[in-house]
Amino acid sequence: MNTISLLSAVAFWLAAWAFNEWLVRQRFDNPIARHAAGIAVPLLFGITILVLWEGIVRGFAVPSVLLPAPSAIWQRLITSLPTLWADFRQTFLKSVITGYVLGCGSGFIVALLIDRSPFLQKGLLPLGNFVSALPVIGVAPIMVMWFGFDWQSKVAVVVIMTFFPMLVNTVAGLAAASHMERDLMRTYAASWWQTLVKLRLPAAWPFIFNALKINSTLALIGAIVAEFFGTPIVGMGFRISTEVGRMNVDMVWAEIAVAALAGSVFYGVVALVERTVTFWHPSVRGGQA
């Protein structure tokens, strides 16, 4: 047992905790300082978790096959960049992005058709709720059998996982405009498309972006899980399943770190676009105050 490493990590954790507590209680008048403090708090919290993790692993001499230290994971990450890049390109750039665009785009288009057809609204929405409840571990093997072992089958899984959240949220968003607002558009002799573009679609943007943010994480999860059931010798899911069997847990954690970083950046980009498009919404204006 390495007592020095453990005590050092605990001391750093306590000091960082005290500093964070002081930082969140401050009321900065300068917007730049307030923004910097908002970034520093979660950043320092994350660093504290890594330091505490490192100290516990070193202090209690935890076997690397059970839990590698962050330093070992970082070492594996920087020495395996070509492999990690190939996996990232196969899983994220090919499967996730393609499936995300197809799934969200088709869900949005079908939602517009449902809005025009009461028959589709009563017949397709219940079916959508049923399909959205299907487990990905049950759908993935079927998609692999239908579309093969390459990234096309993973795209199919991502499309299934992202289609119905977008469909349901868009339908709900299109119904968000009040009857009084719709009646006002009718008094202006606005057509269905004019009402959609100028009233109902702007009212639906918060719902649509809510689905886009949810799907940004669902797409990555679906693609990685689908790769467990058949893939070429490349991909995040393939690498995780293979390296676990070889007891290379540090490589598994490196893949997890890359996936977490990619998913967080993807979510952040969608959230940034949301703030730009829905700048008028109370939730965005409240956050800017």
What number is the average pLDDT over the span 167-175? 87
pLDDT confidence of residue 138: 79
Structure tokens at 268: 């952040």
pLDDT at 185 over 70: yes
Nearest to 115 by CA among 183, 158, 177, 159: 177
Determine the length of the chain.
Answer: 289
How far, in whole angstroms, is CA 61 from its chain's centroid? 34
DSSP 233: S
What span, in angstroms and rounded, lies between the C-alpha atoms of 141 and 146? 9
Stretch among 139-148, 183-192, 215-224 having the lowest mean pLDDT: 183-192
What number is the average pLDDT over the span 165-185? 81
Give the confidence band of 93 by pLDDT, cuts at 50, 70, 90: very high
Give the confidence band of 284 by pLDDT, cuts at 50, 70, 90: low
Would you say the pTM of this structure is higher than 0.85? no
What span, in angstroms and rounded, lies between the C-alpha atoms of 171 and 265? 27
Q: Are 240 and 88 in contact (CB under 8 A)?
A: no
Considering the domain delimited by 76-288, tell me its CATH architecture.
Orthogonal Bundle (1.10)
Quickly list DSSP for 256-276.
HHHHHHHHHHHHHHHHHHHHH
pLDDT digits (tens, 9 = 90+) for 9-54: 888 888 888 888 888 887 877 788 778 877 888 888 888 888 888 8
